Amino acid sequence: MTESAEVVVVGAGSAGCVVAGRLAAAGVHVLLFEAGPAQLPSSAVGLLPVGSRDEGLLRYGDEVAPGTVVGAARGGRVGGSSAVNGAYLLRARPGDFGPWPAGWTFESMSPYYERILLPRVRVPIEDMAPAGRSLLAAATAARVPVVSDLDEAEAPVAGPVTLNAARGLRVDTAAAYLGPGVDVREGRIVRRVRGRRRRAIGVETDAGPVAAELVVLCAGSVGTPRLLLRSGIGAARTVAELGAEPVVDLPGVGRGGTDHPEVTLPLALDPGPHDPSRPILEAVAHLVLPEGEVEIRPYTAPFGRAIGGVDDPVLRVGVAAMTSKQRAEVLGGAGVRVHRSGSDAALLAAGVASVRDLLPTRGEAVLGVPLHLCGTARMGDSDEAPADGAGRIRGVEGLYVADGSAVPVVPTRGPHATVIAVAERLSEVLLRG
């Protein structure tokens, strides 16, 4: 007998837990599928379990420059990246919503940010590690406004980061949203969306078919476009190369992704002993330069202390291009290819020069791995966008996206809070029918 549910949600990460939890709380029979293992107990916010020794991760190659492929990892278990990230929870800014579909504005999104169930804390300046205190003191000296709540301020600005943490532990969306009414199937791989006459009727898993009235993809900005392509939804040529039966020719699937490229350089500060309960990032500064906007991220501990299996004993400060022009492509088989922009190189170089004016640094900047990918199955009013303003995949009834892949352009703040708010809003859309 075929397993069935009213709604199948694919991916129990930052967004999928929100969607499944909200629908189940409203009485909808939901099956939540996660390819990775079960949720772990909350981990110390100052440790990032994304190293070579850690399990429950989606690992892939990120081609950050022609011929240069680096290993990248995202959360790949119940809780997703919200269970392994730095717990940064800042909202997008009003200007970020320009490319979004009609009706998606800062004002209309505010209630959904407020609805997020995760705790919100900030480290008081006097309790910060030397890196954060030094940044905020330097910002004050440089006449950059220092505020207590970055969600209420525009760049240029500096201040404490809002964190989804409590008592030194990271709080993920699985802990916040998954109640007893959610039927979670961890360790179950969804191979493709099943359809009939351009309507989703369920999914094909490694344990057989599952029937559903609606299918919601929340497998992340890498996993969701891959699943669409394997289901015959995407550029016809790419679908054919994967050996899938073509369903809808949507060239935007897996293309046009946006991110925050980052470089790091050594900080000439003594971090002191590493306390795992101390967040890896306590304060940031957003600077507006002629080349664009950058975020300055003074990390509180060397990555070699925060990430298992990483050999890097140096305390670092990150410089991220928050108005990046580069675009990323999710490859049909595996990996992500970044199409770099010369303007990004100029922006990052200007950001590094600004950091050297603000903080004591030494050595050269090195390119990091960007992990804020958005827009690989983006919503939009144009037919070029794979999804419409309600998260519906064009040309396929009953199929939705509700994760970071649907976010049209990565915001000028880290996208975690925005991804959760999008999942909150699209959950409401699904309940309204």
Beta bridge partners of 319: 263, 296
Cα within 13 Å of Cα(427), Cβ side: 28
CB–CB of 281/267 below 8 Å?
Answer: no
Rounded to whole angstroms, the Cα distance separating 329 from 239 reads: 14
Alpha-carbon gap, residue 228 to 117, rounded angstroms = 29
**How far is residue 68's CA from residue 199's CA, in Å, rounded to a whole number?**
40
Separation of CA 49 from chain center: 16
Residue 99, classed as helix, strand or coil, is coil
Q: Give 227-264 as a 3 state SS string.
A: HHHHCCEECHHHHHHCCCCCCEECCCCCCCEECCCEEE
Q: How many Cβ atoms are within 10 Å of 228's Cβ, its own excluded?
A: 32
* Cα separation, 264 vs 271, whole angstroms: 16
Catalytic sites, residue numbers: 372
Paired sense of beta strands 169-170 and 3-10, if any:
unpaired
Is residue 358 within 8 Å of residue 146, measured between CB atoms? Answer: no
- Count the alpha carbons within 13 Å of 54 in the hemisphere toward its beta carbon: 25
Measured CA to CA, the distance from residue 24 to residue 21 in angstroms comes to 5
Q: Are 400 and 426 in contact (CB under 8 A)?
A: yes
271 φ, ψ (degrees, to nearest 5): -75, -20
Q: CA–CA separation, 14 vs 403, rounded Å?
A: 8
Q: Are 309 and 273 in contact (CB under 8 A)?
A: no
- Whether the CB-CB separation of 260 and 320 falls below 8 Å is answered with yes
For residue 66, give every residue at least 6 positions away whose Cβ sits within 8 Å of its Cβ, in sequence order, or none: none
Q: Which of 375, 410, 404, 405 is nearest to 14 (CA)?
A: 404
Strands 283-289 and 292-298: antiparallel
